[in-house]
Copies of this chain bind each other. A is one copy, B any other.
Amino acid sequence: MTDVAARAGVSRALVSIVFRDRPGASAGTRARVLAAAEAIGYRPDSAAQRLARGRSRAVGVMTTVGEPFEAELIETIYAEAGVLGYDVLLTARTAARGELVAVEELLAHRCEALVLLGPEMSDELLAELATRTTVAVVGRGVAGVDSAHTADADGVRRAVEHVAAAGHRAIMHVDGGGGPNARARRAGYLRGMADADLCAEARVLPGAYDEAAGIAAARLLLAGDELPTAVLAGNDRCALGLLDTLRRAGVEVPGQVSVVGYNDDRVSRLAHVDLTTVRQDAAALARGAVRAVAARLDDPRSEPVELMLPPHLVVRGTTGPARSQTGPTGAAVPEDRVSSKA
């Protein structure tokens, strides 16, 4: 900066003014400064700016790398943050890098707000974090914390309705384990089963939000006496693993078993997958989360907002009429490996 100032024949303060695009410099000086900067390849140091300014104007985003649904969110987050005048600091949690590590990094960078995509940490931890900084959670609702999520219970309930209407009774749910909103989706499933008068048929298989969980679930089903006629997976990735394993084993989908996912990932739309699923409005969720933190930074005392968007059932080729039952559905899976919840 000093070099640029010397080269342009002005003070450092003026260089600062020019680069921040503030009034206080004549057009000629502006041009000279910019030319000098260009010549020596000068760029303002964002760390020094942050320090001097006293604020970072940055929102930190935690994502899970390789999560297709989150990719859509991030795209909108960049756009919306840009509009509101914030920078985005991206950090990923991976198998080897926990959520706390990722969050601590964002905190060390003094992000003014955090947007957490599909966090798995407890509500308590999130609420505690929200007392220390501004937080918005995408993907699930958390008491006392700004959040943007889909009415997941509703989504799964509608999926149950959909297959029940097609004559299915042995409808099973492979859940998302401790994943974000897995509890809500489970509740929606049970509610849907109750509404369809199928309480006695409700079976929840513990799962997770990845392909491996779907594969494991399918193996369990295949090892049982009889397959359920419909399986609702915790999300599309799980459904994909499930579909894969069933089809490899020669099970016809939807001929013998119907499968429903959740999220409407890009691949689910492709014809050879063609997965019936529940769509979430990613852009609206991302926008809502960014706006929520921006609003809270403007007025820290406002009540937490919970943006809850309606899900949208997308019926495709993996669901169809139930096959005729040939035995007691309750025996579809060994009892000891299934947890039934009310």
Contacts and interface: CB of A to CB of B under 8 A. Distances in A.
Contacts of A211: 266, 270
Contacts of A243: 270-272
Interface in A37-89: 41, 43-48, 50-51, 56, 65-66, 68, 71-72, 74-75, 78-79, 87, 89
Given A244-B271, A271-B247, A44 B108 contact: yes
Given A41-B132, A74-B92, A47 B244 contact: no
Nearest to A91: B90
Interface string A103-124: 0110111100000000000000
Interface in A258-303: 266-267, 270-273
Contact of A272 (B66, B92, B247): B247
A48 B56 CA distance: 12
Contact of A78 (B43, B46, B96): B96
Contacts of A245: 271
A94 interface: yes
Contacts of A48: 47, 51
Contact of A97 (B78, B108, B110): B78
A96 B75 contact: yes
A75 B94 contact: yes
A96 B81 CA distance: 13
A22 interface: no
Contacts of A27: none
Given A65-B74, A91-B90, A108 B267 contact: no
A248 interface: yes
Given A245-B271, A270-B211, A78 B94 contact: yes
Interface centre among A56, A90, A107, A132 (most CB of B within 10 A): A90
Contact of A51 (B44, B47, B56, B108): B47
10 contacts: A44-B108, A47-B110, A65-B71, A66-B68, A78-B97, A211-B270, A241-B270, A243-B270, A243-B271, A243-B272
A71 B66 contact: yes
